[in-house]
Structure 1
Amino acid sequence: MDDMDLHVLRLFQEVARGATVTDTAARARLTQPALSRALHRIEREAGAALFQRAGRALRLTPAGHAFAAHVDAILERYDEGLRAVAEAVDPEAGVIPLAFLHTFGTWLVPPVVSSFRAAHPRTRFELRQHGEEGLVRELLDGTADLVLTSGDPGDPLISWVRLLEEPLLLAVPPRHRLARRKQARLADVAEEEFIVLRPGYALRETTVRLCAQAGFTPRIGFEGEEVETLRGLVTAGLGVALLPLPHTATFPPEPAQPATPHLRVTDVSSARDIGLAQLAGRDLPPATARFREHVLATAPRTLPA
């Protein structure tokens, strides 16, 4: 592709990832026909059809999938090169791509980023939020240098270090028979409906595992995608859940007591690990390496319940 410039490859990448031609052209300040011609030029140079139309959208052909993987690698290496040059010229002005679990955006991420920026004010962050599956993809795709996640992803390509342990409490409705207690056995709610996160979230897997340790399989009544949604459903009397307490945006964080009763679990070790992950064997850019050391140095070992 002697005459193919990086801008056109980025446009190809956007469409390949599901963006419409209309939206991509608008963001690039191109006409739609101009973008279509650019995509056709890529196909001519590749010697194969890379897209097929599905309604109003374009979908990759098998050849398109093969080509897109190489485009992603080219652009990733190019962007890494730009970052390396920028940090060589001004080591304090690096960019740190950080991805994290949705629930960490209200209490864990703000203070660690803020305290790091206080010492390195010219450093910039690119922040993304996902469930655990999305966090793994961010690392493997090279779009994040570091991820904050719940539990070890268990992937041989990913290196994970435990930062702290977060207690999980049994959340029950305000008028529940256990609501006046400070603690309870998980087995005490074996016959009740559980409110859990959807498959793909580590908290769901942890809930199922802890229930199995307590001697039962949870009867799932509702599934959600955010912890605070689950807490709201418990408050409405729709079931029980194993949840972390909400925390203040301080570091170390302090727990905030919600209106819904949260009971300490006594029959199983009810907690989840929070850790920091990166690609195994990869040398991190200087700014990211400094941020990693900052997080490791400042994280508390256990959160209060």
Structure 2
Amino acid sequence: MHVEDLRWFAVLAETEHLTEAAAALGTSQPNLSRSLQRVERAFGVALFERERRGVRLNPYGRLVLEAARAGTMAVDTAKRRIDALVDPESGTVRLAFLHSVATSLMPDLLKAFRADAPSVGFALRQEPAHDIVQDLETGEAEIAIIAPRPDPSRFGWHLLERQRLCLHVPPGHALASRHRVELEEVRDEPFVALQPGFGFQRVTDRLCEAAGFTPRFAFQATDLATIDSLVGAGLGVAILPAGAVRGNDSGAVSIPLAGVQARREIGMSWRLSTPLTPAAERFRTFVRSRPVTSS
């Protein structure tokens, strides 16, 4: 039994005549009879009393009619909602993004895209990189703004931004007037960083390891703005991407880190095995048209 069988059953219940119902549905009477048989087999009882001039619902049929109307209405509502979601002009993009781009890259992308497609909506998820990859795998997110690049055999990638990495120090710090700094110069100082599991925290760990030390953490936060504020308050030093924190007048001083490896790449990613919805494809196409930026 299919939803269409229930729809045909409801029409027959309203007309109480096989020939009239078939004509209204644009089908043949034998097709309608077979559809009715499928419904009755599914419920295990006859649903109509056959009369000389037509058919009439019995008590079982009235129960099924109530359920059929509710069920087909629910299906129709779901179909309309899905059609709206996948409409490239007014659909919804399921988009996941890193905490570390929440105040910089993300608002820039969304503002620019909404100027081009004001009726497209977004279902946003702000998460660590490992959760974003899981969301791409399950379909909770169609597109992600992420770093580092996920498995290229499973996920597409488009580079968006190369970010210079900087050491943030408190105002008045001995290094605050420097134009460039080696990370090993602060090996003995406390660090303010992200909590374990965040993608950018792995960047900090790798840079410190390459500089020959393991950082001592004064505090591990969940967002870059908090880190910048705590550095400004003198709690420690931190590694942050250039321009990642906006509108945060903490007083912290940003100094570029020396070394060609002191950068990270932010990109857009999507699952290769699943086609994007039209709205998500429109967003991906738009983002791909933008130039790669460097900070």
Pairwise CA distance, 1:80:
10
Asked if residue 142 in structure 1 is aligned to residue 139 in structure 2, the reply is yes
Q: The residue matched to 2:214 in structure 1 has which SS? A: coil
SS at match of 1:195: strand
C-alpha distance in structure 1 between counterparts of 2:260 and 2:134, whole Å = 32
* % identical aligned pairs: 35
Other-structure match for 1:108: 105
Counterpart of 1:190 in structure 2 is 187
Residues 172, 87 of structure 1: alpha-carbon distance in 2 compared, 3 angstrom cutoff? closer
Q: 1:238: which partner in 2?
A: 235
**2:149 corresponds to 1:157:** no
| Distance in 2 between residues matched to 1:290 and 1:168, nearest whole Å | 31
RMSD: 2.9
Q: Of 263, 266, 274, which aligns to 1:274?
A: 266
- The structure with the largest alpha-carbon Rg is 2
Relative to 1, partners in 2 of residues 1:155 and 1:199: Cα closer, same or farther, differing over 3 Å?
Answer: farther
1:152-231 to 2 correspondences below 5 Å: 152-154=149-151, 156-231=153-228
The alpha-carbon deviation at position 256 of structure 1 amounts to 8.5
Q: 1:186, 1:211 within 8 Å by CA — same for their partners in 2? A: yes
Letter in 1 for 2:238: A
CA distance in 2, matches of 1:235, 1:181: 17
TM-score normalised to structure 1 length: 0.64
Distance, in Å, in 1 between the alignment partners of 2:231 and 2:215 is 15
Q: Is the 8 A contact 1:117 1:123 kept in 2?
A: yes
What TM-score, normalized by structure 2, do the two folds share?
0.66
Letter in 1 for 2:140: T
**Per-residue CA distance 1:184-230 (angstroms, 9 max, x = gap):** 11111112222211111111110111112222222223211111111
**What is the alpha-carbon distance in structure 2 between the residues aligned to residue 223 and residue 272 of structure 1?**
20
Aligned positions of 1:59-70 closer than 5 A: none
The runs of 5 or more residues in structure 1 that have no matched partner are 3-78, 250-254
Deviation digits for residues 242-297 of structure 1 (CA, Å, limit 9, x no counterpart) = 01234588xxxxx9886211111114521111011111222111111111111121
Q: Deviations over 1:141-170 (max 9, x none)?
A: 211110111211347533333221111100
Amino acid at match of 1:176: H
Instruction: Measure the CA separation in 2 of the matches of 1:218 and 1:146.
Output: 33
| Cα deviation digits, residues 21-40 of structure 1 (max 9, x gap) | xxxxxxxxxxxxxxxxxxxx
